[in-house]
């Protein structure tokens, strides 16, 4: 399905082509940060009392749960929990 006006599609395409690689990377990183914040907000909404570390684990599982087998996931989760005191992780802006 493509319901985008061709004129607007060209404007958008031209705008994206004019951006540098660094600008595109910055946009992608910003979108990923926004995605993590939205995922975290949804989890907090469903589990209001969730701890910071449990939220971090839940966000990890939501983003990457299908990318690892169970043993790998458990190793990563153990590492996240072990390093829970490090507040510089991916939840610092939540």
Mean pLDDT by 10 residues, the chain (94 residues): 91 96 97 98 98 96 97 97 70 51
Tokens 């985008």 correspond to: 4
**Phi then psi dihedrals of residue 30, to 5 deg:** -65, -40
pLDDT of residue 33: 97
60 vs 8, 22, 34, 57, 74, CA distance in Å?
36, 26, 15, 5, 11
């Amino acid at each position: 399905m493509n319901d985008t006006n061709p004129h607007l599609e060209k404007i958008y395409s031209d705008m994206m082509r004019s951006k540098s690689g660094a600008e595109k990377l910055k946009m992608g990183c910003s979108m990923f940060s926004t995605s993590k914040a939205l995922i975290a907000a949804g989890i907090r909404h469903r589990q209001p009392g969730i701890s910071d570390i449990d939220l971090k684990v839940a966000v990890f599982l939501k983003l990457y749960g299908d990318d690892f087998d169970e043993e790998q996931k458990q190793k990563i989760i153990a590492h996240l929990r072990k390093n829970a005191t490090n507040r510089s992780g991916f939840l610092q802006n939540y």
